[in-house]
Amino acid sequence: MLTPLLSTQELSVFPASFDQARQALLAEVKQLDKLPGTAWTHRSLTYEGEGPAGERLSTEQIWVGEPDASRVLVLQSAVHGVEGHCGSAIQADLLRRLNRGRVQLPAGLAVLMIHAINPWGFAWSRRVDEQGIDVNRNFVDFEQPLPVNPGYAQLAQDVLPVSGGLAAGEQALQAYLQEHGQRQYELALSGGQYQFEEGLFYGGRGKSQARLNLEVIINELDCGNRQVALLDLHTGLGPYGHGELICDHPIGSQGMLTAQRWFGDAATLPEAGDSCSVPKQGLVDYAWHEVMGKNSCYLTLEFGTYPLAELLRCLREDHLIRKPGQQPFTHPQSDVVRQQLLRQFYPAEVQWQTLVLLRARQAIQLACAGLFNDC
């Protein structure tokens, strides 16, 4: 009864830094050579820039299984850079279990891992990329008029006050919350905005490096002729340690119906209002939705940490103190802000880590079962 649910060795997959995460993952990849009959490939996609210690940045594409597999499980991490500690651990955990024979890859199934989609944010402990772009708001058509978020425009000066610190905007933010309610408040702040470059949840005015790299991978996968189950690994929303399966497929769509068959009532719908998340503009999801064929779905596996109010406070302070183009960050509060943000999105505690790995293993199992039982 007193034996830990997961051993210290199992929990060691959680990395302390981007560079450690990348090296540990690639070490597990090399071990695949020892698995009889296992086909695999690895490619590094270059990412311009460097980490705090001058380390090179890249996104890793790892394929395990036959190249022509008709069913594919996709695991992607660090769309929001600092959240990569969790996502990378889940990816490394699956590779380690494959290498040690604890799980086996059935015939006809391949696993695609996309590691560190936003490696700059992972390395610098920021949620955004080097331009201040939220990669998970960047997937809009930049040839068309950009989405408008009037709620954010109304609150922009209070979200990030020019002077007086965060306290200067609190009264206006609370007044908006009281007048419009929690859902509209969250839509205004986090739904995505394309007007304020230094603001929160800024989707950019062109394709980010992360998007360009991911589009290369998506275009090569031939999703329309395969069954695909995609788990996008995130942290920050919801109760501590709880892994919510969030479905942003449109209500009534084939993708939504597939998600509900595979994951049952655990699949939540922001559009229906039963999720910890609200509907958002420019999600990575939408790029995958466009190419997915029948009996495929995309779900965000979101692990809760601390209350939303604290998350927003951390993000506001981060954006006030650490601005694009300033790295290395020299403000005297930079490291304090970095540590706060890191803890908000990655509580490096055994209880939380255990909840994450157990839930992730379950979600992966459900996704694979769905791929094989829903033909």
Residues 230-274: tens digit of each pLDDT: 999 999 999 999 999 999 999 999 999 999 999 999 999 999 999
Please count the other Cβ atoms lying within 10 Å of the Cβ belonging to residue 216. Answer: 12
Q: How confident is the model at residue 47 (pLDDT cuts 50, 70, 90)?
A: very high
Amino acid making up residue 269: L
How far does Cα 200 stand from its chain's mean position? 16
Q: Give the domains, in start order, of the chain with CATH numbers.
A: 8-139+204-243+298-309+341-373 (3.40.630)
Reading the block at residue 271, the tokens are 């559009």
Question: What is the pLDDT at residue 375?
Answer: 60
Residues 57-110: tens digit of each pLDDT: 999 999 999 999 999 999 999 999 999 999 999 999 999 999 999 999 999 999
Please count the other Cβ atoms lying within 10 Å of the Cβ belonging to residue 123. Answer: 29
Within 195-294, strands assigned E span: 227-235, 243-246, 267-268
CB 308 within 8 A of CB 236: no
Backbone angles phi, psi at 274, to 5 degrees: -110, 20
What's the average model confidence in pLDDT over 47-66?
96
Helix (H, G, I), strand (E, B) or coil at 86: helix
Q: What is the DSSP string of 12-49?
A: TTS-SSHHHHHHHHHHHHHHGGGSTT--EEEEEEEEEE
Partners of 60 in the beta sheet? Answer: 44, 115
Q: How confident is the model at residue 198 (pLDDT cuts 50, 70, 90)?
A: very high
Q: How confident is the model at residue 324 (pLDDT cuts 50, 70, 90)?
A: confident
Please report how many Cα atoms fall inside a 13 Å half-sphere around the Cα of residue 130, on the Cβ side. 18
